[in-house]
Structure 1
């Protein structure tokens, strides 16, 4: 306990290990850090949280652990304003998208760089199952990005476009 806490609070190496554990899906190591008092809201290099890294990597078990410990589901990264849902949708991580939506993720938040929503990103990637999940959970199809395009514009793959026809 005490030695771990001192390591957690005082070492930049710990910060790397905490985020590396989230990025790599090392749920037990992450659990140890959290039990030792790690700040779940701390940002790596003042940008992304552990939840961002876990969502980007598609690590559902880590995402579940972080959400269960109070990680901010709608917290954007500092640089691009991507939320964890943006990263999971773009990466095609269906199970992670399900967990985030169940945890209260807002499917209509736009990133700063291109004004894209998770729906835009899922369409661009051809992730039909994620498009369907987002639409079922209130994704607004009328939101336009900085180029004036709605998500459907990017739904060029047949399976993705079919999901729009259902809603």
Structure 2
């Protein structure tokens, strides 16, 4: 089409001689062409020349309009060469502008919005710069007039895409070189997190698997040693637990806050399938946390301030070799804790498997009066 347009415009030519009666005339002396023309003819030819030039411009504009309907400018070859670096050096697209384009694409899914996002990434957007985004805290946290305290959430573009749950946006950003190990404060007392932590914590298995396959550190830890596997086990995502373990995640990794491994949270939340997968991958059935509690204790203690009575998990742990009389630092066994919290199902399982009913804690108490004690 471009060639046709050029051919059309190139076909318009002007005569070397003025239009006369058709009879040949002698050439005027060199440099005296204008004198051979009548003033009226010269004026007409001048107007015709301008008219043809204007027509040519209008034709080109209209042809360009038609071409734009079927052809789009492809900057890929340009950006793939050194000239792309030169273009990027003039002006960097700010992280705020990138975030706006990212949100527009994720919220609409439109092809044009995707192309806008990709163009910003190609010309040099600040893809790993953290943007502070005001967030409303839950009501009741000291807000005025029913409004929660305004907090600031820090996010990179990749973290925003993970939080939104858009695998497509995550793929675009990672493909454009977004950093997988960039950290930001994650709140909840767990310290700085990476994109993989958020995907695992928020239950987004497809995104988590993509990040791992793209090279994200599988045992990345927060400030208190929380790993992606820890979050996934806590959320009960059995398939993702298998995936991470199959990729070499450390089943024995402990947080530095209270020494828990992934199996403790899975037990506390009652996810027996996750517990079984962890045990199948060599999780220690008698693992000790900082206070010396074992996994069996977690079947019947208060977890996240909620009483637990996970009889089925207690049976599984005992079948895998859990010590029914193991004591925590205060000398209390799982039976003490089960009696204290009214976990009758676990009490029955422990007694059926030979737990010592008369075992005493460090202060000399047995399980029978344990209802008055704090385990």
TM above 0.5: yes
Aligned residues: CA RMSD: 2.0
Structure 2 counterpart of 1:88: 232
Q: How many positions carry a matched residue from both structures?
A: 166
Structure 1 counterpart of 2:203: 58
Question: What is the CA-CA distance between 1:141 and the residue it aligns to?
Answer: 1.9
Taking the aligned partners of 2:313 and 2:168, their CA distance within structure 1 comes to 36
The answer on whether the counterparts of 2:236 and 2:271 sit within 8 Å (CA) in structure 1 is yes
Greater fraction of residues in helix:
1
Relative to structure 1, the CA distance from residue 120 to residue 127 in structure 2 (aligned partners, 3 Å threshold; closer, same or farther) is: same
Larger radius of gyration: 2
| Within-5 A mapping of 1:3-152 | 3-4=120-121, 6-9=124-127, 11-13=129-131, 15-45=155-185, 47-78=192-223, 80-152=224-296
Worse overlay, 53-62 or 91-100: 91-100
The answer on whether the counterparts of 1:23 and 1:56 sit within 8 Å (CA) in structure 2 is no
Taking the aligned partners of 1:120 and 1:27, their CA distance within structure 2 comes to 30
Please state if 1:165 is matched with 2:279.
no
Taking the aligned partners of 1:155 and 1:19, their CA distance within structure 2 comes to 35
Question: What is the CA-CA distance between 1:77 and the residue it aligns to?
Answer: 0.8
Tell me which of the two structures has the higher relative contact order, counting C-alpha pairs closer than 8 angstroms and 6 or more residues apart.
1
Taking the aligned partners of 2:171 and 2:250, their CA distance within structure 1 comes to 26
The answer on whether the counterparts of 1:19 and 1:50 sit within 8 Å (CA) in structure 2 is yes
Relative to structure 1, the CA distance from residue 23 to residue 133 in structure 2 (aligned partners, 3 Å threshold; closer, same or farther) is: farther
Query: Scaled by the length of structure 2, what TM-score is found?
Result: 0.42
Structure 2 unaligned spans of 5+: 1-117, 132-153, 186-190, 301-309, 321-375
Query: Scaled by the length of structure 1, what TM-score is found?
Result: 0.90
